[in-house]
Structure 1
Amino acid sequence: MGWIYLFAAGLTEIGWAVGLKYTEGFTRPLPSALTVLSMIVSLGLLGLALRTLPLGTAYAVWTGIGTVGTVLLGIVLFGEAATAIRLACVGLIMAGIVGLKLTAPV
Structure 2
Amino acid sequence: MDWIVLLLAGVGEVLGVTGISQVNKKKSIGSYGLLIGGFVLSFVLLTIAMQTISMGTAYAVWAGIGSVGSVVVGMIFYGESRDLLRILFIGMVLTAAVGLKLIS
Q: 1:26 touches 1:32 (CA, 8 Å); kept in 2?
A: no
Q: Give 1:38 shift.
A: 1.2
The within-5 A match list for 1:10-89 is: 10-24=10-24, 27-89=27-89
Q: Give 1:34 shift.
A: 2.2
Partner of 2:7: 7
Moved more, 68-77 or 22-31: 22-31
RMSD of Structure 2 on Structure 1 (CA): 1.3
Task: Say if 1:78 and 1:25 are closer, same or farther in 2 by CA, change over 3 A.
Answer: closer
Q: 2:18 touches 2:70 (CA, 8 Å); kept in 1?
A: yes
Whole-angstrom CA distance in 2 between matches of 1:25 and 1:79: 14
Runs of 4+ displaced beyond 3 Å: none
How many percent of aligned residue pairs carry the same amino acid?
Answer: 36
Q: Give 1:28 shift.
A: 2.0
Structure 1: state its 5+ residue gaps: none
Partner of 1:95: 95
Classify the secondary structure of the residue corresponding to 2:52: coil
Q: Which amino acid aligns with 1:11?
A: V
Whole-angstrom CA distance in 2 between matches of 1:86 and 1:36: 28
Classify the secondary structure of the residue corresponding to 1:82: coil
Cα deviation 1:55-96 (Å, max 9, x = unaligned): 000000000001111101100111100111100000000000
Q: TM-score, normalised by structure 2?
A: 0.94
Q: Which amino acid aligns with 1:12?
A: G
How many residues get paired?
A: 104
Structure 2: state its 5+ residue gaps: none
Q: TM-score, normalised by structure 1?
A: 0.93
Q: Which amino acid aligns with 1:33?
A: G
